[in-house]
Amino acid sequence: MNASSPIPELLAPVQDWKTLKFVGTIPDSIYFGVNNYNMRKKAHNFRKEELSNIVTYCHTRTPPMKAYLCTNILIYNSELEEIEELFNQANIADIDGVIVHDIAAIQLAKRYKLNLHISTQANISNIVSAQFYEQLGAERIILARELSLNQIKEIKCSLNTTKVECFVHGAMCTSISGRCYFSATIRDSEHYSANRGNCIQPCRRKWRVIDDQTNEFIYDGQMFLNAKDLCMIEYIPELLEAQIDVFKIEGRMKDPLYVKTVSSCYKEAIESYLEGTFTQEKVTHWLKELSKVHNRGFHTGFYFQNPTPENIELTRRGNISPYKKQYIGKVLNFHTATKTAEILIEKRDIEIQDGDEFIIENSNTFIIEKFKNLLFEGNPVNSIKRTNGDPPISLNISLTSQISLYLDQKIYKIRKSIKSENL
């Protein structure tokens, strides 16, 4: 361990209130988007009227968290007024920074004296570009994901005050930092451009190549553009020694469990290295936890070498984690005084056991809770299962914490698939 290594800021993605509340203060900061003008248009996103509430919520945590607003898409003339109004509201809300890419967005953000975080969409890949944005007033630059660790070190050493932020975990675009027109071309519309935050991810599909003479390029039918996810948990010591200022987690389309799990693993890894307790045994544990949430398989991106075919997930599309969230039922009633609830088990052939852990959520809340003291028709049971032919089961349960449940909240259980257990 190098005692002189600065403590990096851990930055996590948030798409809605339930994610923000569930992740707690594990990350040092969060980044989010409002309904338009960010690279994840399909995420739930916040309303711009909520800006002040979001910032206040983050700033009043213990310890306080920072909040950054994503506005990193290409901007057209017809949108200039609206994005300027958004920056005005961000200034009033006391936002800690705005993530920007378009030169117009940079100029307008400067007009409102907002801290500039230059997006990875700007493709900053060399010292001259980095220094240009520093002279422009950037508080932070988010480097292109196509850089090696040595190139990152060189850029970091060339700057005086501007901080360097790098992605350490999450989805990798097969194009250059997302600057891709594949989606827009296929849909024949700029509305579906990755540069406008609305990519349909055609690179995650299987493709056939046929020439104008109907000759087909023969290959094995694999998804040769489907990049695995970046995962640098094993190399936290190297990242810390490089003095990268901010470790960024990708995933504003991901659910609260993903954000909290990934944030927790990286927080523990950073603290372990700084405390001198970073071990391979811990790395194995973190990798196991990371594999339980959404992932396409892991690799180290461009940090140590250019990706190879081994860094492409050729056969499986989407989430390859063996752990899946399965719907169980819903909340029928909750008794505040006794912290007990009546739930309806609708899913067949999934056993509910005393002490099992469940996810309870609706559009505004996300809770993980253990059920205990199971009562079926007034009688205590250790486990129960709805089988084929059975009507939905009404079950009374006690909670283990001081939370409140609400009518019609959905209940899920995380299960490892039988197929994966047999592999």
Gyration radius from the chain CA atoms:
23
Taking every pair of C-alpha atoms in the chain, what is the biggest distance, in angstroms? 75
- CA 297 to CA 307: how far, in whole Å? 14
Task: For residue 83, give both structure tokens.
Answer: 């994005």
- CA 403 to CA 411: how far, in whole Å? 15
Reported as a single tens digit per residue, the pLDDT across 320-374 is 799 988 999 999 999 999 999 999 999 999 999 999 999 999 988 999 999 999 9
Specify the range with the lowest mean pLDDT, choosing from 4-13, 40-49, 364-373, 403-412. Answer: 40-49
Confidence (pLDDT) at 409: 95
- CA 59 to CA 61: how far, in whole Å? 6
Question: What's the pLDDT band for 421 if we cut at 50, 70, 90?
Answer: very low
Question: What's the pLDDT band for 420 if we cut at 50, 70, 90?
Answer: very low
Confidence (pLDDT) at 423: 39
- CA 372 to CA 251: how far, in whole Å? 33
Q: Please count the residues of the chain.
A: 423
Walk me through the domains of the chain, giving residue ranges and CATH numbers. Answer: 9-311 (3.20.20.70), 323-421 (2.40.30.10)
Reported as a single tens digit per residue, the pLDDT across 94-120 is 999 999 999 999 999 999 999 999 999
Q: What is the mean pLDDT of the chain?
A: 88
- CA 33 to CA 23: how far, in whole Å? 17
Helix crossing, 51-59 with 80-93: angle to 10°? 30
Q: Is the pLDDT of residue 124 over 80?
A: yes
DSSP string, 300-335: -TTSSS---GGGB--S--S---SEEEEEEEEEEEEE
Confidence (pLDDT) at 289: 97
Mean pLDDT, range 298-313, rounded to an integer: 82
Are 396 and 322 a contacting pair, CB within 8 Å?
A: no
